[in-house]
Amino acid sequence: MSIDWNWGIFLEPAKFGDTTYLGWLWMGFQMTILLSACAGVIAFFVGSFFGILRTLPNRLLSNIGAIYVQLFRNIPLIIHLFIWVYVVPELLPEAAKEFLFGLDPIIFIFIMSAIGLGLFTGARVCEQVRTAIQSLPVGQKSAATALGLTLKQTYLYILLPNAYRRVLPPLTSEVLNMVKNSAVASTVGLFELSKQANQLLEHAGHPYESFIAVTIGYVIINIVVMKTMQYIDKRTRLPGSIGGK
């Protein structure tokens, strides 16, 4: 089977949008990066919060963290996105509903997709933070207590800085997965990278060129993520710790 390659298709004017087909992919590339970054911030802070809750001696708070993990890890991401885009806004107070529905549809879908993807990934970050905290030597917490530090100070100055150093390698994997999972947002109408590739396919009819270009786009993003996380890991690593020199 011969393939009619036409790489020049990317420089041809798009059917609409006053740009080229390459411009479509570039907009999708930017949207994927922005969505992943916003969802990543949500996942980090929400996951850290519930991860800390799961290590506290208070059973009620620990159970709240466990419920969050079970709720968001046992439901497929696509269901979460549909719930956040189509169901949650209808349950909000009237003022919040008017504000959201008054936004540009693209901005509205982006915000709700970022929340859905962030909370979904946050459940996995939560478990990683919990495991990292519990893997620390018991003597660290005992020493902090002996010095008169409160529980808040113990977490803030002793446990979390060391836990985050341990969580960086698995966190890198989660960031990479989140970039790939961002493609699911195309099902709720967000024009990220994979959605733009499908649009290019529908209007230009060149599937091989479209999806090779998209593959290269995802590879570039993931290489940048891996190199960035490796740099952070190297800069924050403590001599004498696991993986340290």
What pLDDT is recorded for position 50? 96
User: Under a CB-based contact definition with an 8 Å cutoff, are residues 84 and 112 in contact?
Assistant: yes
In the structure encoding, which two tokens stand for residue 233, read together?
A: 């890991």
Would you mind telling me the total number of residues written for the chain in this entry?
245
Q: How does DSSP assign 183-196, residue by residue?
A: GGGGGGT---HHHH
Question: Which residues make beta-bridge pairs with 13?
Answer: 20
Nearest to 160 by CA among 168, 245, 169: 168
In the structure encoding, which two tokens stand for residue 223, read together?
A: 């290489």
User: Per residue of the chain (245 residues), what is the pLDDT tens digit?
Assistant: 456 777 777 888 877 778 888 888 899 999 999 999 999 999 999 999 999 999 998 899 999 999 999 999 889 999 999 999 999 999 989 999 899 989 999 999 999 999 999 999 999 999 999 999 998 888 888 888 888 888 889 999 889 999 998 898 889 999 999 999 999 999 898 888 888 888 887 777 777 888 888 899 999 999 999 999 999 888 887 765 554 44
Q: What angle do CA 71, 156, 177 make, to 5 degrees?
A: 40
For the chain, domains (ranges, CATH) are 15-236 (1.10.3720.10)
What pLDDT is recorded for position 243? 47
What pLDDT is recorded for position 138? 83
What pLDDT is recorded for position 245? 46
Cα-only R_g, the chain: 22
